[in-house]
Structure 1
Amino acid sequence: MKPVILCVDDEKIILSSLKEQLKRHFGSLYHIETVESGEEALEVIGEFMERTVELPIVIADQIMPGMKGDELLTAVHLRLPKTLKIMLTGQANADAVGNAVNHARLYRYIAKPWEPTDLSLTITEALRSYFQEKKVEEQNLALQQMNQGLEQLNQAYERFVPKEFLRFLEKQSILDVRLGDQVQQEMTVMFSDIRGFTSLSEKMTPDDNFRFINAYLGQMGPIVREYHGVIDKFLGDGIMAIFQKKADDAVHAAIQMLHTLAGYNQERAKHDRPPVNIGIGINTGTLMLGIIGEQGRMNGTVISDAVNLAARLEGLTKIFGASLLISEHCLDALEHREAYYSRFLGKVQVKGKNTVVSVFEIYNGDAEATIELKLTTKPLFEEGLTHYFAKEFAEAAVLFKNVLKDHPTDKAARLYLERSAQYLVQSVPDAWQGVEAMEYK
């Protein structure tokens, strides 16, 4: 149905004349409807609204039996605020016009008898104004929907390329990213991995595997973000994350991950499920972040020896029986070193590199009883290492045995006891410095 221009007047002659003029000028595009009272007008408007008929203009007389013109236009405004209201009357007082202006957003007042040209121009301008406002509204709505779509798209992209990664590259949007974009910064990188995942996985269906991994990652991911970290990638059952602000953030996140895991394991125990154990390696150094790939497939990544070392440290957690290992570079970068329980575990050399790195265990995330045992035996353990690096293997072996008397499950002490015993039998080269080559992951 065509849009409607509604005319309201209690005088039939006026309505007939008004309808004839409007039909002559606007009848090809609009339906001209007439009613004789405000009450009838509201009934007709209600029908229009039910049928979603568009009503751009209502023209009303002021002095009518029952509902007055200003009252009608106010009621129309409450129902259809976008509809333009015109008062066409010869007897309206200033109060009525003012009421219509204030409460109905009166578009125009035209006195009777009207001048035909003036009426036609007024209606033409009113229609232009109505549809222009409608067009602007539709454009704004379309723009809003487009912005919402872009926001949803950006949010979806952020699940694959974190917005922090874009910020590192000084990009506003994923659309700005180009192959070869890169930046170099000092950051702290964390690797975490589930120990013995293969054994766990073999006992689960494919569906259970994914449920388990996602449940675990769903516990750990928010902790990384809470401590200002960015998850660079998920590595099956593992996480690689980078921390731009402080090395302490990475260590705090790792400790919180271990505490959360302890609670997670308590829930698993209630369902007779085996505990989940993880190893975490952290290193601080210069990282290169950038976009690699080819034009058809690009990926954000982090490249650096510092990354490789963090991954190797995570691998060393299995060897030392530790949950969290950090490099000397990370230890030196900590602002609150005194806040952590730590012990020196030895020196390692990454395969293919000449640099020797000292490794430290942070054990704030261990069970309280384990923390107490490590604190108690720390002097003996570190004295044992001093003798070990001095090639005094007999003295070292005695000290590591004493550590194990108090803390039988200390895997690091047992490892050094076994090595000390081995080197007592097999002499070491003169150039030996106790550095272990990390040829394993």
Structure 2
Amino acid sequence: MKEFVILLVDDEPMVLESLSEELERNFGRSYQIEAAESGEEALEILEEFSVDGIETAVVISDQMMPGLKGDELLSQIHRQHPDILKIMLTGQAEADAVGNAVNSANLYRYIAKPWDATDLNLTIKEALKKYHYIKKLEEQNARLRENERRLNQILEAMPIGVTVHNTTGKMTYANQKAKELLNLENLPETNTEQLSTTFNVYQAGTDELYPTEQLPIVRSLAGEGVRVEDLEIHYPDRIVPLEVSTTPIRDKTNGVFQAISAFQDISDRKKAEAERENFTRELFQLNEAFSQFVPRQFLHFLARKDITEIKLGESIEKKLSVLFSDIRSFTTRSEQMNREDTFNFINGYLKRMEPAIIENEGFIDKYIGDAIMALFEGSADRAVNAGVKMLENLAEYNQTRQRRDRQPIEIGIGINTGHLRLGTVGGNARIDTTVIGDAVNLGSRLEQLTKVYKTPLLISHNTFVNLQDSTKYALRLIARVQVRGKVEKVGVFEVFEADPPDRKQAKLATKMMFEMALIYYERGRTQEARPLFDRCLQQNPWDSIAQIYLERCRL
């Protein structure tokens, strides 16, 4: 039995048979299609599946049925199985029934009988996509909650004190060991200026309070990572020397909003604890250094905690979006620079491109000279947003290159989405991570096509259909290309979201006319395509792609 089920409910056997056949053709390979002739039977089937651990993704129900009506059935299903997506397929539903299904069953969609097959299949496809997307989010949230629980357990079990302070210096968390070392029952109300006096913090070997501005936690709240051993807690009957390490905690804008402090009594264990701190720090720095050569996401994909666990020949298949970018005429530029200037130029450019990829949850697989290959898991929007942001960053960078000897930089970006194989290749002396597959080759081909069509950002039809909302981008279909080794052509879309405002608006104004001309051209009707391309150019003289097609029509 397949893992996921689509359940159909209708009291008319002929309707069930017709609907089942339709869905079997389109979804039968991946989903089990089940049918029930009443609401009561549907609830029994759902209960059996629940007991057997089989997930029902979508329920499609008629409204007018003996016994349980469709809206009543869907409401009961929603109470018991809120994750299931509900669709009402009926020709006799009253507005009240539909409204009840929407309000009490979170109805996903209402479809009237007789149904349009295309609309029905598209609705179910999108419903299934949403169902799996919600499931993925739930799994991610569950993992986050579990990670938080484990982190709290770890902190409470640690033999060192751990405290967290906000920007005012107030202690917002202390684990059990910290409360023991600081002799706390409750977290005190204090601020930065009161920290030394509240906790009796002195400079080691003196009777002087530790200067507030030099306190490790205060320095970390200012953005500095600190580790000191010159700090003591003075009590009436004893002095407790502490080793303290503090670190700033930053938000997405790189601003410090908290700082964490880790400290321990080093009276008897100073040497052993110092060695452990050194080992931990070195290991962290080593992992940080290796992460610059092997992206952490690669380790995650291969289910490896660190670089030492990677083995030659490991691989895994993932659905990813791949982005290729390249500087136009880089060879010509580099011939005019010495080797040091060439490296400075490349690094200056790459430093401005990298943030656009990181900010959109992608990672750079490799640099190939001036070229970038980046990968994005999840929504294809991340890759497209990164491409648009790269062009925006480049426009800002070009504004700083207004000297006579510095020509503006132009780049091309190609994005494709599909299943890739990630893994390790190499020999006994050296291994490297890589990504292979047709989807990679197509992404590279799209980047090359940006030169042909004289436009900076192209995406494939595969990426287009994986966008959560394609309407939020300024884009248009510009070609269908033949991929080497493939029979079907691939649609190519230009994303002109980062174009200057006047050119962007001009392309939007002529989009329908351009795409109609493209259809005529693809069908070999160049006489009908040519005047449309000509009209596009009259309204938008900068449209290089329309110019290319107009010239092709004249051949």
Deviation at 1:135, TM superposition (A): 6.7
Larger radius of gyration between Structure 1 and Structure 2 = 1
Listed one character per residue, the Cα deviations across residues 277-314 of structure 1 (whole Å, up to 9, x for unaligned) are 01100000001111111221110111111000000000
> Is 1:103–2:237 an aligned residue pair?
yes
Tell me which residue corresponds to 2:181. none
Is 2:468 the partner of 1:335? yes
Q: CA deviation at 1:355?
A: 3.2
Out of 480, 490, 493, the position equivalent to 1:357 is: 490
**1:317-328 equivalent positions in 2, closer than 5 A:** 317-328=450-461
Structure 2 residue 523 is matched with structure 1 residue 397 = no
Aligned to 1:234: 367
Amino acid at match of 1:321: K
> Partner residue of 2:548?
415
1:431 paired residue number: none
Larger % of helix: which? 1
Which whole-Å CA distance do the structure 2 matches of 1:357 and 1:236 have between them? Answer: 28
- C-alpha contact (below 8 Å) 2:503/2:542 kept by paired residues: no
Matches within 5 A, 1:60-79: 79=205
1:229, distance to aligned residue in structure 2 (A): 0.2
1:201-224 deviation digits (Å, cap 9, x = unpaired)? 122111111101000000011210
Give 1:182 shift.
Answer: 1.2
* SS of the residue 2:401 aligns to: helix
Once the two structures are superposed, the pairs formed by residues 110-125 of structure 1 within 5 Å of their partners are none
Q: Structure 1 residues 78 and 162 mapped into 2: Cα distance closer, same or farther (>3 Å)? A: closer
Shift of 1:354: 2.4
**CA distance change for structure 1 residues 267 and 78 in 2, over 3 Å: closer, same or farther?**
closer
Name 1:314's counterpart in structure 2. 447
CA spacing shift, 1:80–1:193, aligned 2, 3 Å: same
Contact 1:223 1:257 in 2 (8 A): yes
State how far apart, in whole Å, the 2-side matches of 1:351 and 1:288 are. 19
Matched-pair contact (CA < 8 Å) for 1:323–1:366: no
Question: How large is the RMSD of aligned CA atoms in angstroms?
Answer: 2.3
Aligned mates of 2:333, 2:235 — CA distance in 1: 76
- Percent identical across equivalent pairs? 42
Q: Name the CA distance, whole Å, in 2 between partners of 1:78 and 1:182.
A: 54
Give 2:430's aligned residue: 297
The one of 321, 344, 352 aligned to 2:477: 344
Residue 275 of structure 1: SS of its match in structure 2?
Answer: coil
Change (3 A) 1:240 1:78: closer
Q: Which moved more, 1:299-308 or 1:372-381?
A: 372-381
Match of 2:272 in 1: 139
One of 168, 185, 205 as aligned partner of 2:318: 185
**Structure 2: how far apart are the matches of 1:101 and 1:404?**
83
Of residues 336-345 and 196-205 in structure 1, the stretch that sits farther from structure 2 once superposed is 196-205
Between the aligned partners of 2:365 and 2:270, the Cα distance in structure 1 is 42
Return the letter of the residue paired with 2:497. N
Cα offset for 1:406?
2.3
Deviation of the 1:344 alpha carbon: 0.6
Is structure 2 residue 518 aligned with structure 1 residue 385? yes
Structure 1 pair 354–390 and aligned structure 2 pair: CA distance change class (3 A): closer
The CA distance in 2 between the partners of 1:416 and 1:178, in whole Å, is 50
Determine helix, strand or coil for the equivalent of 1:366: coil
- 2: CA distance between counterparts of 1:344 and 1:149? 52
What is the rounded CA distance, in whole Å, between the counterparts of 1:176 and 1:196 in structure 2? 41
Q: What is the aligned partner in structure 2 of residue 12 from structure 1?
A: none
Indicate yes or no: 2:313 matched with 1:174.
no
1:134-186 deviations in whole A, cap 9, x for unaligned?
Answer: 67321211111111111111111000001111011110010111111111111
Aligned to 1:5: none
For residues 526 and 463 of structure 2, the distance between their equivalents in structure 1, rounded to whole angstroms, comes to 30
Alignment: residue pair count? 304
The residue type paired with residue 339 of structure 2 is P
User: Which is bigger in relative contact order (C-alpha 8 A, separation at least 6)?
Assistant: 1
What is the CA–CA distance in structure 1 between the aligned matches of 2:294 and 2:235, rounded to whole Å?
A: 54
Q: 1:366 deviation in Å?
A: 1.1
Code of the aligned partner of 2:382:
D
TM value normalised by structure 1 = 0.66
Q: Tell me what 1:375 maps to.
A: 508
Quote how far apart the aligned CAs of 1:367 are. 1.1
Structure 1: gaps of 5 or more residues:
1-76, 82-99, 107-132, 423-441
Cα deviation for residue 105 of structure 1 reads 5.6
Counterpart code for 2:392: H
Q: CA deviation at 1:409?
A: 2.9
Equivalent position amino acid for 1:416 in 2: Y
Alignment of 1:2-21 (within 5 A): none
Q: Which moved more, 1:371-380 or 1:298-307?
A: 371-380
* SS of 1:268 mapped into structure 2: coil
Q: Is the 2:412–2:455 contact (alpha carbons within 8 Å) kept by the matching residues of 1?
A: yes
TM-score, normalisation: structure 2: 0.52
Corresponding letter in the other structure for 1:314: E
SS of structure 2 residue aligned to 1:344 = strand
Structure 1 pair 103/135, CA: closer, same or farther in 2 (3 Å)? closer
Q: Distance in 1 between matches of 2:386 and 2:543?
A: 24
What do the CA deviations read for 1:92-137 (whole angstroms, capped 9, x no partner)? xxxxxxxx9833469xxxxxxxxxxxxxxxxxxxxxxxxxx76732
In structure 2, the residue matched to 1:43 is: none
Partner residue in 2 for 1:251: 384
Q: Which residue of 1 aligns with 2:539?
A: 406
